[in-house]
Amino acid sequence: MNTRIYNVNILTMEDGASMFPGEVWVKDDTISYVGPARDNGDVVWDKEIDGQENLLMPGFKNAHTHSGMTFLRSYADDMKLDEWLNKQIFPNEAKLDGESLYWFTKLAIMEYLTSGITAAYDMYFYMDDGMRAAKDTGFRYVFCDSINNFGGTVEGVERDYLRLNQDKSRQISHRIGFHAEYTTSRELMEGIAALADKYKAPVSVHCSETRKEVEGCRAHSGMSPVAYMDSLGLFNHGGTLFHCVHMDETDYEILKKRGIYVVTNPASNLKLASGIAPIEHFLQERIPVAIGTDGPASNNCLDMFREMFLVTGLQKAVCDNPEAVPAMEVLKMATVHGAYAMGLTECDTLSEGKKADMILIDLKQPNMQPIQNTEKNLVYSGSKQNVKMTMIAGNVLYQDGVFYLDCPAEEVYAKANLLARKILG
Amino acid sequence: MNTRIYNVNILTMEDGASMFPGEVWVKDDTISYVGPARDNGDVVWDKEIDGQENLLMPGFKNAHTHSGMTFLRSYADDMKLDEWLNKQIFPNEAKLDGESLYWFTKLAIMEYLTSGITAAYDMYFYMDDGMRAAKDTGFRYVFCDSINNFGGTVEGVERDYLRLNQDKSRQISHRIGFHAEYTTSRELMEGIAALADKYKAPVSVHCSETRKEVEGCRAHSGMSPVAYMDSLGLFNHGGTLFHCVHMDETDYEILKKRGIYVVTNPASNLKLASGIAPIEHFLQERIPVAIGTDGPASNNCLDMFREMFLVTGLQKAVCDNPEAVPAMEVLKMATVHGAYAMGLTECDTLSEGKKADMILIDLKQPNMQPIQNTEKNLVYSGSKQNVKMTMIAGNVLYQDGVFYLDCPAEEVYAKANLLARKILG
């Protein structure tokens, strides 16, 4: 299958590259050419897409989410994190089953597509059903275990790790992880650390989301969550830490030493009143930051444009510095760093040999005009409305407001409503 | 002209009203019926719109903007407010002319339509050309003078006030205003106060946007900007204050006593590092708050959905209270309070006798599913992508991504690019 996307302005997101007019060729699920328009020689096109001078760039990577939580959207708002978890989230999650999870995940995938998100790093239950939703829709998915004292075993994580990393196409992959320091015993964490050592693998986990969590860890260990988990050997092979709102100088040193990726979730952190992560400080320390939407129960939407504006807007205000976190850094977080934070090193840039995960951004909308600095327009004024096409592994899954999935959009909405009502009553 | 919009879920935004299924009738520019589906008697429909069970509600009111600044979008980012104003904004604004302003305003109007904004409260130069842009497109516009020490006279404001309030259809109206305390002499402000007294009219002005502005006013007057301007008699007949980021207890008392409307501009205040306005406190004090995008040079987009999320999200974080500023309060700010803040008392709710300024919100999008609480969905997960139709004065100006204006969208983009390049070089 040979596809040509021509008449586009290309932003590869390679280091130092700026936008240029050209075309991109795709062979099966891989990019085979990126550059100026050129003769196609003996290549026969199965599909040609006229980009109409719009912007082609790598898809956004949602580096932290709980996709299946769509069923709790706008159901449990305006509550404190611990109350929210214990009263509204945990009891209703207990009623989930694989079939529900399948449809709730499909709904999330559709929303990702409308926001130009081509891969998600998901931490949730019923991974096999989530995987089925990703496979059926053609979405790229990375799973991460969320075991804790209430469920899951180290052996189970190892089985998942071996089982879910067999997909040669890398549409589905898996990384070692657990829920959080405050929900997981030392023994379980030591088991995870041993597993990470065995496979020389990084560990992903929620970390320092709330002040209460950090204080709790200090009270029992005398250390911050980052330092305590590091002392158990969890980050010997790197890691990806979700949230990182409340950090100290020791934390920064550990993040740098271990080559850890931070995933920031600004909308969720605002909405749950968790705080504002020190993104400008991470940048100054050269700690790589990726961006996640977090789950739809806390956010409540899955919109990379909103997150991108928040990442820079909030830092400008809290640092009292309008120069904080420039637009191009935010785009790097949403694409390149996101890919690395979830282990998708083949999905970071729009370059020959990389996976064909890309988006076409409509520049012929009032919010993108006049065209003076498209990168800044994307971060400061972009919206879901600008996503003209979302392509994953060479397949167009969303174009001009229409979904190209294995079932009609209406079926997903109907199932999601029905199953949500069944759970929530 | 009789129009019927049927098969919709209606949110009137009247006090205490919740969503219900029904239909809305429009006669010319006015709503003639809101309620359950019913027999149309002898009314003959010129137009019938099937709402497909989506949400019909009053259009959003952008209660503070500088529309013509679209030409500076993504041109002058990442700078401090005073530097931004003096180095990038003022010198380029000096090169504006009426013809440029006309096209830049048209571009802004198009963006308003994509975001469900049906009226804007605009403070900028060349009001006659802005008015022409509004008249030609069918947009509802309220103008406010921005005189200061660098231009404009009290006599000019009076002439504008009399001249621009003659439109019986209320598509165009005008309110007395000036730029800001820190740019305007005491003499000029006293003149404005006398004018406001003469017409028993409220005064609109930028106020307490930055800490520096407040400190400057204290240094020369011993009072905050609110108190100083009030002491000059400016708010004897009420007022509308844009920004109100840095406030004290005395300010709150004056706002309450004078029945003043606050217009908050959260995205602009973040981006220029001005701070975060005390919205939760305004609510507690029962001071009415409206929402504005501010101009596209500071924001950089004109998107009421982004502003609505910020209004509540930021308060939850800074008040450390996830219950701060509930969704329904935000919707009131974006509609009812917005209308009152700009004097459009006939455009606040979706009710019989009110102007037919309304929007149809697409609920059949993944970010609005499942349907559990549509009001919360709107504020917490809504986006421009959900705006299916924008109607002003009974006319559909935007529907399913297509603009219905006096000229093609492409012509506005071409003119805006050409004229921006001419000014910026």
| Listed residue (B288, B291, B168) closest to B238, CA to CA | B288
* Residue A79: how many other CB atoms lie within 10 Å: 17
Note whether B2-58+351-403 and B60-347 share their fold: no
Report the residue from B275, B322, B370 with minimal CB separation from A78: B322
Contact with chain B for residue A416, Cβ under 8 A: yes
* Residue B188: how many other CB atoms lie within 10 Å: 19
Per-residue pLDDT of chain B (425 residues; tens, 9 = 90+): 999 999 999 999 999 999 999 999 999 999 999 999 998 888 999 999 999 999 999 999 999 999 999 999 988 777 777 787 788 888 999 999 999 999 999 999 999 999 999 999 999 988 999 999 999 999 999 999 999 999 999 999 999 999 999 999 999 999 999 999 999 999 999 999 999 999 999 999 999 999 999 999 999 999 999 999 999 999 999 999 999 999 999 999 999 999 999 999 999 999 989 999 999 999 999 999 999 999 998 888 999 999 999 999 999 999 999 899 999 999 999 999 999 999 999 999 999 999 999 999 999 999 999 998 999 999 999 999 999 999 999 999 999 999 999 999 999 999 999 999 999 98
- Give the tokens for residue B392: 């002003």
Report the residue from A78, A369, A416 with minimal CB separation from B413: A369
Residue with tokens 């799973």: A143
**Can you name the residues that pair with B117 across neighbouring β-strands?**
B60
Cα B385 from Cα B67, distance rounded (Å)? 21
CATH class of the domain at B2-58+351-403:
mainly beta
Which residues of chain A lie closer than 8 angstroms to B313, CB-CB?
A: 267, 270-271, 310
Between residues 179 and 198 of chain B, which touch chain A (CB distance below 8 Å)?
none
- Give the tokens for residue A316: 């400008």
- In terms of phi and psi (left: phi > 0; alpha: psi -120 to 50; beta: otherwise), the region of B124 is beta
Contact with chain A for residue B311, Cβ under 8 A: no
Q: For chains A and B, what is the number of CB pairs under 8 angstroms?
A: 223
- Give the tokens for residue A221: 């260990």
| Listed residue (B410, B384, B383) closest to A364, CA to CA | B410
Which residues of chain A lie closer than 8 angstroms to B69, CB-CB?
A: none
Alpha helix (H) residue ranges in A333-391 = 338-341, 374-376
Q: What is the Cα gyration radius of chain A?
A: 21
Is the pTM higher than 0.95? The answer reads yes
The CATH H-level superfamily of A60-341 is Metal-dependent hydrolases (3.20.20.140)
Question: For the domain B60-347, what is the CATH code?
Answer: 3.20.20.140
Contact with chain A for residue B309, Cβ under 8 A: yes
| Cβ density class A174-185: b for 16+ within 10 Å, e for less | bbbbbbbbbbbe
| Listed residue (B308, B360, B290) closest to B58, CA to CA | B360
Domain boundaries, chain B: 2-58+351-403, 60-347
A273 and B316 in contact by Cβ < 8 A? Answer: yes
A135 — pLDDT class (breaks 50, 70, 90): very high
Cα A337 from Cα A340, distance rounded (Å)? 5
Cα A19 from Cα A135, distance rounded (Å)? 33
Q: Can you tell me whether residue A48 is helix, strand or coil?
A: strand
According to the CATH classification, is domain A2-58+358-403 in 2.130.10.30?
Answer: no
